[in-house]
Amino acid sequence: MNTETVHYLNIFLGLGAIVLQIFSVIALGVLFFGPKKNIFLDFVEEHFLIVGFLVALFSSLFSLVYSEIIGFLPCQLCWYQRIFLFPQVFIFGMALWEKNKKIIKYAMPLLSVGFIISVYQNFIYYFGESSSLPCDASGVSCYKQLVSEFGGYISIPMLALTAFLAIGTLLLVAHFYKKENL
């Protein structure tokens, strides 16, 4: 891919990430601080399987596009996150196929570990020094800023964190919103 195409892909994914971040903040805010009955959360609770499947699918696919087509090799922390993100496609896919909304006990442990790794990677990416990074900056490293859009806010680690946050938000709404309405 040429650099202009990669730039437009980065902008497209960056805008999608920002939309998912806004969605997550609003959904969690309404879930924990909003009214007990809400049209927005009704919609999220009803469609969380398809939305979760699509977020997991596109996150996994674009992770592979960056590494296999564009040639941005994943660092060690990216590989660990992939271990916890890729199974989400199959978990949500099977749940969607079977119309089984009780997947939190399968999906949340994987998401939690991936989210923690992603928070750590984002912290060292944005605030760490190259000498304290777990990845060697001379090779494949999280210190290299391969994607930097919207003033450096959107990066590959931020895209991964957004995916984990969005899927986790969907699961939290699906799990806790029903209990609040009883």
Q: In 3D, which of 140, 138, 20 has the Cα closest to residue 77?
A: 140
Burial annotation 61-71 (CB, 10 A radius, 16+ → b, else e): ebbebbbeebe
User: Span 6-26, mean pLDDT?
Assistant: 94
Q: What is the pLDDT of residue 132?
A: 57
N-terminal to C-terminal alpha carbon distance within the chain: 52
pLDDT of 181 over the 50 cut: no
User: Span 99-126, mean pLDDT?
Assistant: 92
Q: What is the pLDDT of residue 139?
A: 55
Report whether 168 contacts 92 (CB < 8 A): no
Q: What percent of the chain has pLDDT over 70?
A: 88
* pLDDT tens-place string over residues 131-152: 555 565 555 566 666 777 888 8
Report whether 141 contacts 75 (CB < 8 A): yes
**Cα–Cα distance measured from residue 139 to residue 52, given in angstroms and rounded to the nearest whole number:** 34
Q: In 3D, which of 133, 60, 62, 126 has the Cα closest to residue 91?
A: 60
What is the DSSP code string of 110-169? HHHHHHHHHHHHHHHHHH--GGG-SS-TTSS-TTS-S--BTTTTB-HHHHHHHHHHHHHH
